[in-house]
Amino acid sequence: MFNIVILAAGKGTRMNSTRPKVLHKLAGSAMLDRVIKNARGLNAENLFVVVGHEAAQVVSHVGTDNVTFIEQNPQLGTGHALQLAAPFLNDALPTMVLYGDVPLTKLSTLQRLASVAQQGLGLLTVHLENPAGYGRIVRDAQGCVVRNVEQKDATPAQLLIQEVNTGILMAPTAALKGWLQRLSNNNAQQEYYLTDIIAMAAQDGVAINTAHPDDLWETLGVNSKQQLAELEAVHRDMQACSLLNQGVTLSDPSRIDVRGDLICEKDVEIDVGCVFEGNVHLKSGVTIGPYCVIRNAVIDEGVAIAAFSHIDGATIGAGSKVGPFARLRPQTMLAENVHIGNFVEVKKSTVAAGSKINHLSYVGDAQVGSNVNIGAGTITCNYDGVRKHLTTIEDFVFIGSNTQLVAPVTVGAGATVAAGSVITKNVPAGGLSIARGKQVYIEGWKRPE
């Protein structure tokens, strides 16, 4: 268990946005939310977020459940941010410092840092070909860390050091509080540098150990839309890689976006340009055509989703076919072997096994039985302007094309409804119901000229 302090006060000038930097999204989640998720994964006993720029927006986005916000105005440096947090930190637990604009650190990397930090101060460092801009880790002849020096304060010799400070660290809290009191802003940026605690720890004889991430991008921060896009691409690659390793066929690994959790079973195929959001589960043998958006859905074995379909909050039974150009909205439940064709919208409806709604229809607030055929252009008129009403269509019903079913209404089992009907009363089982004007022939009628 830890105190965790997330620094998120910065302005993010280079994002060129009215939105606070840490609320910009990476793969569908605000960067800060990603960092908070990691903190929770680490079992943060006390979680603090230091806010400053557009603080109110950040606070209302995150909410105050199990998070304490600390306002830092003005922002006088990373050390100053920790000074403000210090009174709230529990001395009995170590303190980890994370950054709201460093969104892709793996939980396992932070756990590794925590384990090397057990006996003292732990630093997450990386070796960079080009260390420009970062604080450099200075070691003595024995290889022990003695201090950090910021780029702007470094000597030419120090500038050559390639081991850099990622900023992420973990410290024993009582000692940290003492070090923070001794910080000064007597440096090139006239800031209170959190990194100055490193030299203090060394002087106090506190062990300083370093841990390293598996991948460099885990420690990259975002200062511009360009850097955000770069990390988005890293995230996309990672997700694609993991799907390929699980045996998923991707037509182009660079053209899939997973903004949430996508679970794929065996022999899933995904064509280009698909976006997955929230929790999506694709069972064995599912194929997804190009340019589909799928959010919070469970798609059962062997289902084929054709191009340009939009699926949100639906479950789709085994062997069903959906699309192209289909839209399934929340609380749609399709049983096995259902066919939903082009330009069909289904909302808050259940469709039982073997039923077909193949063309240009709206089915909302409906219970559709098994082996039903719903003809082209059918509409369940579910809304009276105030309330929503239910349409029930029992098994083996045939609804002719261009039928309006004015809910609440029930169509009995095996009934046939003639094309073009406006059904306002319950339809008896079996037989044929027709509800439309009779065709007439007007002899000698002339078109207006």
Among 193, 169, 166, residue whose Cα is nearest residue 182: 193
Burial 103-137 (b: 16+ CB within 10 A, else e): bbbeeebbebbbebbeebbbbbbbebeebeebbbb
Q: Closer to ligand UD1 at the Cβ: 58 or 344?
A: 58
Least Å from the CB of residue 219 to ligand UD1: 8
Least Å from the CB of residue 149 to ligand UD1: 9
Least Å from the CB of residue 5 to ligand UD1: 9
Active site residues: 359
Q: Closer to ligand UD1 at the Cβ: 166 or 355?
A: 166
Q: Are 224 and 15 in contact (CB under 8 A)?
A: yes
Q: Which residues bind ligand UD1 (CB under 6 A)?
A: 7-10, 50, 72, 75-78, 80-81, 99-101, 134-135, 148, 150, 164-167, 193-195, 221
The CA distance from 447 to 449, in Å, is 6
The CA distance from 328 to 310, in Å, is 6
Q: Are 273 and 250 in contact (CB under 8 A)?
A: no
Q: What is the dihedral of CA 368, 369, 372, 376, to 10 degrees?
A: 0
> Do you know the residue count of the chain?
449
Q: Closer to ligand UD1 at the Cβ: 227 or 401?
A: 227
The CA distance from 300 to 137, in Å, is 53
Q: Closer to ligand UD1 at the Cβ: 123 or 305?
A: 123
CA–CA distance from 125 to each of 218, 325, 386 (Å)? Answer: 11, 49, 61
The pair of structure tokens assigned to 361 is 């229809």
Least Å from the CB of residue 285 to ligand UD1: 45
Least Å from the CB of residue 93 to ligand UD1: 21
The CA distance from 424 to 136, in Å, is 77
Q: Are 171 and 197 in contact (CB under 8 A)?
A: yes
